Amino acid sequence: MKLFEKLAAGFLGLTIIFSASNSEAAPTVEKRIAINSASRLMTYYENGVKKAVYPLGLGKIYTPTPVGYFKIMEKVINPTWIDPSDPEYMVSSGPSNPLGYRWMQIKGNYGIHGTNRPDSIGGYVSNGCVRMLEKDVEELYSMVDVGTPVDITYNRVVVEKVEDGNVAYYIYPDGYGWQNIDVAYVNGWLEPYGVAPFESDLNIADKIQASDGQPTYIGKPYNIEVNGKRIDAVTVNGRDFLAKAVVCDNINYLPVVPLAMALRTKLEWREGESTLKTKYGTVTGFEKKNQIYCNADDAIILLNIDGGLQNISDKVEDGKIFKFYTAYNEKDKEKDKKKSKDKKKSKEKLEEKITTEEILTDENKSDSDKKSDKKSKKDKKSKKEKKSKKNKTAEEVKPVEENQPVEKGNA
């Protein structure tokens, strides 16, 4: 009985072990902290998705917050502050502590922490550390772990796609005096999003002058597919043409040059008239910073393609795309109709020729043709009879072999 109990206990132990090994592991969440010293903002990401944005107080001009790629090395609740200039002077956790109630070390004496001076948030005020409002730092502290990456950069120009698909850009003041920017530099940031042509150089220059960190919304860019194939940017005569459709000011703008290239359709841009022409038709065109567009509603007229803005998939989060398909227009119908008619005529002519050659009556023949046909038939009949008679004779009269006895009949 004792042996049975031991065996049962052993099996139970194995069952527990197997159950533990087969349990599903919790999904891994990739966390990241991004700090832009120019904007004095921190963004917290989970699996690449923005979860929170916090205002910061950063290092003074002469003691700037370092830039680079770091990670959280240590987390401390209710830290003790030690004066960097006088290590003998310490302040315990409490209302007088400059570190607040949370500390996250990222490098040496540099860290992310709270503050007892909330009015300092938004300025260049520290000895290089990253200050946060107490409620913000406590929230962040609860979400991140030791090892979470911390990326610190200095970018005066920030471009982002917001939730509704709009592209916004910001220009921040040069607090550290590290980054001189111009219009071309800003256009370089906007171009990959496909919206650079929709923000004038004059507007960009004014925005650089203001450097107020406020958002400017330009438009909503989308990819394009024609007959299931993605449309890409092209270069024609050394000139680059973008391939993004852009929804701006309630108009759906289509980049006509990449589309015409993909469809192998000759395109004519009449700059003086602001019109676009192909073999299909003529529509109004729009030139924006050397890029040429048409209204998506006119695509059927100009390029013989039909479609519009559609969901990429059943999942809303996958976004949208402009999808088009080659249309069947009236000109195509006329061509097909003419082709079918010509084919029918050709077939009828061929049948008529065959009938004329194969079915000729005696009435259609001349007297000489008739005599020739009669003589030919007679010659063929005569040859056939002679051949038949010869074969019959050969069968009846067999040769007698040498030294073979011959029967004698009655004389």
Task: Look at residue 197 and tell me whether its pLDDT is greater than 90.
Answer: yes
The predicted model gives 244-256 an average pLDDT of 97
Whether 362 shows a pLDDT value over 90: the answer reads no
Residue 331, pLDDT score: 60
pLDDT of residue 375: 61
Place of tokens 């496909």: 194
- List alpha helices for 25-154, DSSP H: 134-143
Would you say residue 119 has pLDDT above 80? yes
Any long-range contacts for 323-329 (C-beta under 8 Å, 24+ apart)?
A: 323/224, 323/225, 324/224, 324/225, 324/226, 324/227, 324/299, 325/226, 325/227, 326/226, 326/227, 326/263, 327/300, 329/280, 329/300, 329/304
In the predicted structure, residue 51 carries a pLDDT above the cut 70: yes
pLDDT value at 368 more than 90: no
The residues, ordered by sequence, that sit 6+ positions from 320 with a Cβ below 8 Å of its Cβ are: 165, 222, 309, 310, 311, 312
Higher-pLDDT residue of 224 and 7 is 224
What single letter denotes the amino acid at residue 38?
Answer: A
Confidence bin at 9 (pLDDT 50/70/90):
very low
- pLDDT at residue 191 greater than cutoff 60: yes
Q: In a 10 Å sphere around its CB, with 0-12 CB exposed, 13-18 middle and 19+ buried, how is residue 292 labelled?
A: buried
pLDDT at residue number 1: 42
pLDDT band, residue 316 (cuts 50/70/90) = confident
pLDDT of residue 313: 85
Q: Which helix (H) or strand (E) holds 13?
A: helix 2-22
Reported as a pLDDT band with limits 50, 70 and 90, residue 400 is very low
Q: Average pLDDT for residues 148-162, to the nearest whole number?
A: 97
User: Is the pLDDT assigned to residue 260 strictly greater than 80?
Assistant: yes
Give the strand pairing for 124-126 and 58-59: parallel
SS3 11: helix
Could you report the per-residue pLDDT of 201-216, keeping only the tens digit for each? 999 999 999 999 999 9
Is the predicted pLDDT of residue 297 greater than 70, yes or no? yes
Q: Which residue has the higher pLDDT, 324 or 411?
A: 324
Q: Residue 288's closest CA among 313, 309, 271, 302?
A: 271
Residue 58 above 90 pLDDT? yes
Indicate the pTM of the whole model.
0.72
Give the count of beta carbons closer than 10 Å to the beta carbon of residue 255: 24
> Looking at the chain, how many residues does it have?
411
Using the predicted structure, report yes or no on whether residue 391 has a pLDDT greater than 80: no
Which positions are annotated as active-site residues? Answer: 113, 129
Per-residue pLDDT band for 61 (boundaries 50, 70, 90) equals very high
pLDDT at 126: 95
SS3 324: strand
Backbone phi and psi for residue 370, each to the nearest 5 degrees, phi listed first: -65, -45
For residue 57, what is the DSSP state? B
End-to-end CA, the chain = 130
Cα–Cα distance, 103 to 111 (Å, whole number): 7
CA dist 327 and 301 (Å) reads 10
